[in-house]
């Protein structure tokens, strides 16, 4: 994560943190779902017939140590093919060359499968680094792909070790649509070292290719094809980290700590929040509200605990600042720009 230190301008008069948010009250709008609305929502969920072909993603990750006491995953290769491995396309160019924090965002859709091979690239002489793994949330996998230690799974150490890689197989079966974290589960402690940089996300887009968005004060069902950007924002104990993905090209870019997010005015953009670490957070994006998943409400703040995920889509209309208003997180400068350009 960014060797760049967040510039706090500790005593500077230009420091703007005093605008301690008055937006912290949740503005909830209850929207009566009309008959048509109920029907379309229900249909969205029940009619899961894939509109696109199922694909196999063959992915190679390296786990590496980087300066500053961090560890990170690096995308070595990402091939997309049909489920039998035919018609492979190499999409590795979507990702930066080096290791990144957060790790590469794996974008797939309901029905797809993933084969992820992890390579251990730490100093083999350091016993604490004996194991490293990828444990994923949300999607299907059998016990061999849990990414845990034998200490936990009573089966085997599902780790890459200095002399051997490890292959994980995931199935984004129907019902697993959503954005899910992946992270190490085996390094340094019996539950891993996700808090040291070894984390990322899998976006499983729904087979329906639809989502619900807020636009002003209303909920609107839209096709994901109309969503221009995905922002994957991790709420760490003292900073945001993030990846911005151009959905047209799949290109991923990393902005370091508290990155500025960019959007074109009047486009649809999707936020994927994942909390990590030990602290709790309260996310706000002043000037915007969004549909609360599983309900018919619009909300403008969300409390999140470690490893919870939260996805929402908004219509970009104005500049804002995303921020964490919990306890000292705001004082620490947990905030970044949401820049909406004409």
> Within the chain, how many helices (H) and strands (E) appear?
2, 24
Mark the segment that binds other proteins (CB under 8 A) among 116-124, 168-176, 223-231, 312-320: 168-176
Footprint of other proteins on 205-264 (CB under 8 A) = 212, 236-239, 241, 257-258
Judged by CB, which is closer to other proteins: 10, or 125? 10
Among 52, 87, 126, 189, binds other proteins (CB under 8 A): 189
Q: Classify the C-alpha dihedral 322-216-342-230 as positive or negative.
A: positive
Footprint of other proteins on 1-60 (CB under 8 A) = 1-3, 5-12, 15, 17-18, 33, 37-39, 41-42, 44-45, 48
Asked whether position 169 contacts other proteins by CB under 8 A, the answer is no
Among 75, 116, 134, 149, binds other proteins (CB under 8 A): 149
d(CA 302, CA 312) in angstroms, rounded, equals 11
Mark the segment that binds other proteins (CB under 8 A) among 55-63, 65-73, 85-93, 316-324: 65-73
Judged by CB, which is closer to other proteins: 64, or 146? 146
Reduced to 3 states (helix: H, G, I; strand: E, B; else coil), residue 311 is strand
Using CB under 8 A as the binding criterion, the count of chain residues that bind other proteins stands at 86
User: Burial level of 329, CB count in 10 A (0-12/13-18/19+)?
Assistant: buried
Asked whether position 309 contacts other proteins by CB under 8 A, the answer is yes
Residue 258's CB is within 10 A of a number of other CB atoms, namely 26
Asked whether position 325 contacts other proteins by CB under 8 A, the answer is no
Judged by CB, which is closer to other proteins: 60, or 268? 268
Q: How far is CA 154 from CA 136, 143, 148, in A?
A: 18, 10, 10
CB of 309 to other proteins, least distance (A): 7
Asked whether position 114 contacts other proteins by CB under 8 A, the answer is no
CB of 22 to other proteins, least distance (A): 15
Footprint of other proteins on 123-142 (CB under 8 A) = 135, 137-138, 140-142
Mark the segment that binds other proteins (CB under 8 A) among 79-87, 118-126, 224-232, 304-312: 304-312
d(CA 339, CA 127) in angstroms, rounded, equals 45
Footprint of other proteins on 76-105 (CB under 8 A) = 101
Judged by CB, which is closer to other proteins: 246, or 280? 280
Is residue 160 within 8 Å of 190, Cβ to Cβ? no
What's the order of all strands across the beta sheet hosting 113-121? Answer: 89-90, 70-82, 55-66, 113-121, 166-171
Q: How far is CA 276 from CA 123, 133, 258, in A?
A: 26, 17, 15
CB of 271 to other proteins, least distance (A): 15
CB of 273 to other proteins, least distance (A): 12
d(CA 215, CA 334) in angstroms, rounded, equals 26
What's the order of all strands across the beta sheet hosting 320-324? Answer: 261-264, 335-341, 320-324, 281-284, 301-304
Asked whether position 178 contacts other proteins by CB under 8 A, the answer is yes
């Amino acid at each position: 994560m960014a060797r760049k230190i967040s510039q706090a301008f500790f005593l500077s008069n230009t420091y703007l943190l005093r605008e301690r948010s008055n937006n912290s009250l949740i503005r909830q709008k209850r929207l009566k779902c009309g008959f048509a609305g109920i029907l379309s929502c229900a249909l969205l969920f029940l009619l899961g017939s894939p509109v696109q072909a199922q694909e196999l993603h063959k992915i190679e990750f390296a786990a590496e140590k980087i300066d500053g006491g961090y560890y990170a995953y690096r995308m070595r290769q990402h091939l997309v093919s049909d489920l039998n491995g035919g018609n492979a396309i190499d999409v590795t160019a979507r990702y930066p060359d080096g290791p990144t924090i957060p790790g590469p965002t794996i974008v797939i859709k309901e029905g797809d499968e993933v084969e992820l091979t992890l390579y251990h690239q730490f100093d083999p002489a350091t016993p604490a680094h004996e194991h490293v793994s990828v444990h994923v949330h949300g999607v299907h996998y059998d016990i061999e792909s849990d990414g845990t230690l034998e200490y936990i799974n009573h089966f085997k150490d599902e780790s890459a070790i200095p002399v051997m890689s490890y292959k994980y197989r995931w199935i984004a079966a129907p019902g697993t649509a959503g954005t899910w974290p992946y992270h190490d589960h085996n390094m340094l402690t019996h539950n891993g070292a996700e808090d040291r940089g070894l984390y990322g996300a899998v976006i499983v887009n729904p087979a329906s290719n639809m989502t619900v968005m807020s636009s002003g004060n209303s909920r609107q069902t839209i096709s994901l094809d109309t969503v221009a950007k995905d922002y994957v924002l991790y709420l760490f104990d003292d900073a945001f980290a993030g990846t911005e993905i151009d959905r047209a090209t799949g290109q991923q870019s990393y902005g370091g700590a508290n990155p500025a997010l960019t959007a074109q005015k009047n486009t649809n953009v999707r936020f994927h929040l994942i909390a990590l670490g030990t602290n709790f957070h309260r996310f706000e994006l002043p000037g915007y509200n969004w549909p609360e998943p599983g309900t018919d409400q619009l909300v403008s703040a969300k409390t999140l605990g470690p490893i919870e995920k939260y996805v929402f889509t908004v219509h970009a209309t104005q500049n804002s600042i995303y921020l964490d208003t919990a306890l000292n997180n705001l004082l620490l400068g947990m905030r970044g720009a949401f820049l909406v350009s004409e």
